[in-house]
Structure 1
Amino acid sequence: MWTSFGHLTNALLIEDGRVLALGSDALSGGADQTIDLAGSFVMPAFADGHAHPLFAGRESQGPKVNGLQSVAEIVAEVKRFADANPNSKWIIGGAYEAAIVERGDFEAHWLDEAVSDRPVVLHAVDHHTIWVNSKALEIAGITSMTQNPDGGTIARGDDGSPKGTLREPAAMDLITKLAPVRTLQDELDAIKWASEEYLAAGVTSAMDAWVEDGMTEIYIEATKTGHLKVDMNLTFLAQPGKWQSRIDYYNQMRAEVQALPKEAGLTAKSVKFIGDGALSAGTAAILEPYLDELTSKGLLIWSDTEIIEAATTFDKQHLQLHIHSIGDAAVRQALDAIEAVVASNPSWDRRPVITHAQLIDPVDLPRFAALGVIANFQPLWTYLDPMNKELILPRIGE
């Protein structure tokens, strides 16, 4: 048995879920029941501090395009799935590797070869981008005359017509909000799939870092049906211009979660801010221009004033701040907001989080410790996969 203290032992004594003793002390502790693991290896379980399990479960129910290495392979998989599911009104899946196409701009007509009579929506691996077919563009009314929404972009051809790639939630929502409402059973099955994937990897607790309206109710139901098999903390989504109207609803949802028995394993303690986009999409907010587009520094989703107002309001509700900030400009804005919160609100065990934090200006590094900010970064984004090599390095340099 490997302990979190970094050494090996051969026995654990456990009572009421707590470890009382190790090694010889455990063996002499007079246990009521002894479990012989027959030489198996035991280690502490993992906790995932930033994830999207419900979204992942939803994707598992669509075409499996993750890891495919060409447009032709993806199109073939979409066609296979569509042919096998003729009653599906929309085809939704993920997550494709955006780096297999220059600049990550995928064309709608490529997907039309697989499905032309139903909308197709595929999420990219960064989950800040979707690739859609012409039917999806048509249903959403997206044409060359459609303006980019605030905080989002629509990839376009030389004539201004939409290519079929949309970046950031503000643009993606133009299409995804039109998708049919999913059944409760589909959602419960998605949570069950995600739970089982977690348990297979040794993860016993996680945070769903993007909880929209209606998702808390699904999680509550999943605790009652047994579909949720790991402990889960919910992070309510705060959006510019909309967060004020969600305060009462989120407090109601938090109260309903708190009313569940402890063994349900569900909490709702955090609020999610999306500070910027993604480096792979060229939408992460950075202090200096992108090397491949010298007129762009990415997108800040929030104004400085509004993010401080919203963060201060939610912190007063004792909701932990969980701020998505990838570029160094977004990280600085998040630190500024947290600094304002700490200065104006009474002290409590707030543990604010800046998640991803892929680029940080060196002058901002000491501010994390000074403000008690947790840097929640993920190894997934640190190795030189095709996305980092083909999309990100040309944009920001080495």
Structure 2
Amino acid sequence: MPTADRVYRGGTIHTMDPTRPTADAVAIHDGTIIAMGETDCAAVTGAATEVVDLSGRTLIPGFHDSHAHPVLGGLGMAECNLDNIHGYQPYLDRIAEYAEEHPDDKWVLGSGWYGDVFTDGFPHRRDLDSVVSDRPAAFTSHDAHGTWVNTRALEVAGITRKTPDPDGGRIVKDTDGNPTGLLFESAAELVTGLFPSVTSADVERALRNSQKYFHSLGVVGWQDAGVGVLTGSPHDSFHPYVSIAENGGFVSKVTAALWWDRAVPYAQQIETIKERRAAIQGVDGDRRRGGLQATVVKIMLDGVCENLTGALKRSYRGHDHEHGLLMFDAAELKEIVSGLEANDFDVHIHAVGDQALKLAVDALTQNDGPSPERRHQVAHLDIADPAELARMAEAGIIANVQPLWARRDSVLVDTKLPLLQEDQQSHHFIFASMRDAGVRLSFGSDWPVSSPDPIWGMHVAVNRTAPHNDPHGQDDVAQNEPLLGEEKITVGQALRGYTLDAAYANGYDDVSGSVEVGKSADFAILDRDPFEVDSVDLGDIVVETTVSAGVVVYQRA
């Protein structure tokens, strides 16, 4: 047995290993856990071993995010970022200030707006015109399904009252037929294709900055839910990912979910993703130390309920003939899934509405269902029919959910719930029902759609109310009135969703996600024990240290 490089002791260690839920010490050597418990750790402690006194703090497995968009998040941090504020006037003030500070930018670009701050839930070009009128401006919504542009941007893009909706998208128009400045889904590409070019160096910089941000939150691994050219995005993120991996730049465990581009013919797309997987496999290293793998393909099946593009079995309330938008019909989806399974890919399907969920489960369970080694997953499941949950459990399909959304914030109360029928509302983010049905729950953030802070996500999963410090959940309802309180889950279940089960969804549970001998030394050290604090204060816990494969990648100042 080698001598330990470092031993952590003097606090509580929650392992996520059901055979040994807690420990009082852990020893690591060369990035790998070699011993657990005071007795065994003492046996591998030598003169050169660094002994870290936890001083009563809590050590847990490092978090994994099973659904994020760190390229978009990283690029957003370099533009006019509205993520950390909430309000109509604060948005306009920040945009005006940014435009003034960047007079030479040909476009004023940014992201992160929430619709609930605008009249009727949607921004208008005249709002943006009031602060930027001299040049085109475009701002992506926090959920990335809508783009808000000013009048100058519409002019540059040639969008008029006569411009038809593109396939898979919608140009919002007023009662007179004039475009309002809001572009949904693929309609955004009419504008994003005109943006100043984003270089590979820009994307690499964004990814490296995102990795640092993740580390500050205790996140040691993530699944990028769309590596390639996403709908509405002007850049291809694949080559920057490979470049960073080739240069050993990922001190994290990263899974690239390759984007299924609906604009590319089926046979060509299959060959492209196979080539991309092979290119990434060519830079594989020691999985315990991190790196990059491409085992998953991401398919966008529908949109979101807030803009009536989430695909529902029943119509939206007040919109009797509107059932949402499907990017693929049932036959197309089944063909794609069959082709991916035949080539040994896991499938990750975006399905927000219950009709999209049904089609996703139909496709993933065709031909007697997926093979046991497949880690198919459906993302979001905003509205889930319990009948589909039973089918998911039987087939081993993962529910890849975003717990931070399951609270009664103003976005939900003002812009989403009014569109849903009562029975749809009762099946809204039903995490406990998923658990009780036997569905594996894997947690992700969908960042930059919402914060990637796992502590905040755990808080909402456990309380069904907003964390105290979340700027998008500061009203009394969000803070104090649970959303479907019976759908709460326990702290242990929430922690598992962000550690072992998220690592499973990402394909790294063999080397990460729990504190066990033989696994990578991936830890987050917290200032308090999540199992001991009052649940309403869970979101106030702070990550003090993050360790990835034995390397201290973040230390709170």
Q: Which TM bucket (shorter chain)?
A: over 0.9
Q: Does structure 2 conserve the Cα–Cα contact (< 8 Å) formed by 1:275 and 1:300?
A: yes
1:267 and 2:270 are equivalent in the alignment: no
> Which stretch has the larger CA shift, 93-102 or 43-52?
93-102
> Which stretch has the larger CA shift, 80-89 or 385-394?
80-89
For residue 299 of structure 1, the aligned residue among 311, 316, 325 is 325
In the alignment, what sits opposite 2:546? none
The RMSD of aligned alpha carbons is: 2.0
- State the 1:236 CA deviation: 1.2
Q: Does structure 2 conserve the Cα–Cα contact (< 8 Å) formed by 1:277 and 1:284?
A: yes
Give the Cα separation in 2 of the matches to 1:117 and 1:183: 25
Q: Cα–Cα, structure 1 residues 331 and 134, in superposed 2: closer, same or farther, change >3 Å?
A: same
For residue 322 of structure 1, the aligned residue among 348, 372, 378 is 348
Q: Does structure 2 conserve the Cα–Cα contact (< 8 Å) formed by 1:13 and 1:29?
A: no
Give the Cα separation in 2 of the matches to 1:359 and 1:156: 28
For 2:130, give the aligned amino acid.
E
Structure with higher RCO (Cα < 8 A, 6+ apart): 2
Gaps of 5+ in 1: none
Deviation digits for residues 86-114 of structure 1 (CA, Å, limit 9, x no counterpart): 23222221101111124432111211222
For 1:150, give the aligned amino acid.
D
In the alignment, what sits opposite 1:26? 40
In the alignment, what sits opposite 2:269? 246
1:237 and 2:262 are equivalent in the alignment: no
> Which stretch has the larger CA shift, 26-35 or 73-82?
26-35
1:179 and 2:188 are equivalent in the alignment: no
Q: Cα–Cα, structure 1 residues 31 and 51, in superposed 2: closer, same or farther, change >3 Å?
A: same
- State the 1:25 CA deviation: 3.3
For residue 218 of structure 1, the aligned residue among 240, 244, 250 is 240
In the alignment, what sits opposite 2:52? 37
- State the 1:351 CA deviation: 1.4
- State the 1:227 CA deviation: 5.0
Other structure's SS at 2:14 match: coil
Deviation digits for residues 199-240 of structure 1 (CA, Å, limit 9, x no counterpart): 001000000001124311101222345654422111111133
In the alignment, what sits opposite 1:208? 224
In the alignment, what sits opposite 2:365? 339
* TM-score, normalised by the number of residues in structure 2: 0.68
- State the 1:184 CA deviation: 2.7
- State the 1:22 CA deviation: 1.6
For residue 61 of structure 1, the aligned residue among 60, 78, 97 is 78
Other structure's SS at 1:267 match: strand
Give the Cα separation in 1 of the matches to 2:139 and 2:386: 37
1:142 and 2:142 are equivalent in the alignment: no
In the alignment, what sits opposite 1:394? 418
Give the Cα separation in 2 of the matches to 1:9 and 1:362: 38
Q: Cα–Cα, structure 1 residues 243 and 380, in superposed 2: closer, same or farther, change >3 Å?
A: farther
For 1:124, give the aligned amino acid.
S
- State the 1:67 CA deviation: 4.1
1:372 and 2:386 are equivalent in the alignment: no
Give the Cα separation in 2 of the matches to 1:227 and 1:95: 27
In the alignment, what sits opposite 1:122? 139
Give the Cα separation in 2 of the matches to 1:111 and 1:84: 17
Deviation digits for residues 73-96 of structure 1 (CA, Å, limit 9, x no counterpart): 212211211221223222221101
For 2:315, give the aligned amino acid.
P
* TM-score, normalised by the number of residues in structure 1: 0.93
Give the Cα separation in 2 of the matches to 1:241 and 1:95: 27
For residue 88 of structure 1, the aligned residue among 105, 124, 136 is 105
Other structure's SS at 1:165 match: strand
For residue 2 of structure 1, the aligned residue among 9, 14, 26 is 14
Give the Cα separation in 1 of the matches to 2:42 and 2:167: 66
Other structure's SS at 1:233 match: strand
For 2:327, give the aligned amino acid.
I
Alignment identity in percent? 29
Give the Cα separation in 1 of the matches to 2:354 and 2:45: 54
> Which stretch has the larger CA shift, 215-224 or 226-235?
226-235
Give the Cα separation in 2 of the matches to 1:134 and 1:160: 15
For 2:128, give the aligned amino acid.
L
Other structure's SS at 1:307 match: helix
Other structure's SS at 1:27 match: helix
Q: Cα–Cα, structure 1 residues 142 and 225, in superposed 2: closer, same or farther, change >3 Å?
A: same
Give the Cα separation in 1 of the matches to 2:93 and 2:27: 54
- State the 1:379 CA deviation: 0.6
Gaps of 5+ in 2: 1-12, 230-235, 426-557
